[in-house]
Amino acid sequence: MSGIKTAILGAGSWGIAIANLLKKNSYDISMWEFDLEACGYLQKNRELPAKLPGIKIEKSILITNNLAEAIESADYVFCAIPAQYLRSALVRQPLLKTGAKPVYVNLAKGIEVGSLKRMSEVIGERVPVEIRSGICTLSGPSHAEEVARDIPTAVTVASDNIEIAEKVQNLFLTPNFRVYTTNDLVGVELAGSLKNVIALAAGMLDGLGLGDNTRGALITRGLAEIVRLGVKLGADPLTFSGLAGIGDLVTTCLSKHSRNRFVGDRIGRGKKLEDILSGMSMVAEGVETTKSARELALDNNIEMPITFEVYKTLFENKSPRRAISDLMGRDQKQEKWD
């Protein structure tokens, strides 16, 4: 597979981790950073200590502020851009040359506010019709901080076109990064997005000093409402039992690396959302996705009580302790997943 050119759009922690990972296979790698000053810093220092301390960017990886230069002749384009900024970044993308058919691989985990579109759908609106069916999403329990340090990781790549997913799978033939394939693009994207909402709630439990019983209940019932919405929107329910589902959900709810769990923890300790976010160098995707998840639940008449309580806590100043009390005080019911 030598001679393959891969473009990484986004030079944050995940973009850098994926760029270094793919470079292990001697591919031609370019990485685009939209901010000119940040790009200059990366070009000079070959590291991003605020997000990936101790990790150097491989010397042969091209870092550029020119989007056209980054994607020129690329066989694969990885989109490592936060969900709410992906559309605006792709609007800047120049038209692909006639005959060019790069595979686009989404790495973001979120649902666009307003349009309520998944990331593959956003990408699909910005690329030629003939390559839309091959758009992929790579998802699963995969914190950049650990991937960058070559800690064993397993993820899933999803595409409506399973042959394209297998091509992406084969890009990652490295000892410590294992990729599985699926054609359930809807399920993988929804699982990766909605688990961040539950991770916010898990952080709130930690901030309040609650215990393992509460966390176990939250993760289980959180998964139930993710499955309900996912199945309604066309996902395979078994997807939520896999790496992109329960694997990523548990990891994000428990991990010290989770930005969403961190935000929830600080809210549980009484901090204001705007103050928490202003002090972060990275994006907590679940905050905005909570808005989208609530809208999807309302539009599809799906019961998602945890999501609704997270929304009220984030955006309506409801106390997290009151939110837990209201969840615990709901009408008695059978444990069902539909």
- Which DSSP helix (H) or strand (E) runs through 9? strand 5-9
Catalytic residues: 195
How far apart, in whole angstroms, are the C-alpha atoms of residue 254 and residue 265? 11
**Which residue, among 331, 301, 110, 323, has the nearest Cα to 218 in the 3D structure?**
323
Phi, psi of 19 (to 5 degrees): -60, -50
**Which residue, among 34, 160, 181, 164, has the nearest Cα to 102 in the 3D structure?**
164
Please give the DSSP secondary-structure letter assigned to residue 98: T
Write out the DSSP string of 24-80: TTT-EEEEE-SSHHHHHHHHHH-B-TTTSTT-BPPTTSEEES-HHHHHTT-SEEEE-
Write out the DSSP string of 110-148: -B-TTT--BHHHHHHTTS-GGGGGG-EEEESS--HHHHT
Which residues have a Cβ under 8 Å from the Cβ of 275 and sit 6 or more positions away? none
How far apart, in whole angstroms, are the C-alpha atoms of residue 145 and residue 231? 32
Residue 95, token pair as written in the block? 């038209």
